[in-house]
Structure 1
Amino acid sequence: MFIVLKTVLTGIGATLVMDVWSGCQKHFLRIPPLNYALVGRWILSLPGGKFYHHTINSTPRMRGELMTGWVFHYLTGIVFAFIPLLLKGAVWFSEPSLSAGLLAGVVTLFAPFMILQPALGFGIAASRTPRPWLARLLSLLTHMAYGFGLYVAAFAIAE
């Protein structure tokens, strides 16, 4: 059970690092990060049977979408924090490695490229966005920041 708590803490820490990166991206590069209200709108549309949106921007706003999106974002970060544990086993928490963290960050790109972006109407790997390669690069950098955050958080709680 202790390993689950460590993984949860690592996931929260890594997601925080990811959010700091997104804030820097917004402030220094003037590129807005993902609006988690859109993710919340998608989540809140699921019980009504709507998985795919032509574009999520054309779907009417829903009450609680911003909070839902942020909660989902952190829950996803926690779930993805199990990836380096699966890659390295329990040794991950006594000997965290940057390579395992970054590899986990790259592996997590599957979710936005193949699930979230198509579901929001942005196409596979953002293919229906105005600048798909920029969107892909930003997703990669954001998920690498998450992977770096996995390493930093695991290192911070290492035994």
Structure 2
Amino acid sequence: MSLLHTFLASLSVVALSVSCAAGDGNKMERQRADSLANKVVEGKINLEWLANSDEFMYFNEKYFHEAADLKMIPKFDKVQIQIVTYRIYKHVKLSDNRYHFAVKQAKDLHIPNKAFVYYQRSFDEMNRKAAASKDSIRLELPDNYAIKLINE
């Protein structure tokens, strides 16, 4: 194999590795996110400040698959969910009975790509259901919903 082929093959492996891990937070980012969430739980930093920061934040993926009652889940998990969800809903508008999500990439919100895609698909699905029902399903988005999420 020529030097050029070896270089291109190496570059491909690196690019694939980076693209698979990109946006979901590396180990250090997740450890920092956990530390910051703990500081909120301990009352050492403000939840709203962290929600508005550029600090990476994620939450346990099990909450993608099971309903989460914020009053019943552990405080640590609640803080992480509130921050990620706040960052999403801060960019959602409702018009003509459709949710419009103004952000195109997870990295703009400093959240994992998996969470971003999960919410994006949820909005798309709700929009499809509303459209299929000839708008008999009325979508809702309370005023200042993002703020209400972090104040719950």
Q: TM-score, normalised by structure 1?
A: 0.35
Give the structure with higher Rg (CA): 2
Q: Which one has more relative contact order, counting CA pairs under 8 Å at least 6 apart?
A: 1
Higher strand share: 2
Q: TM-score, normalised by structure 2?
A: 0.36
Higher helix share: 1
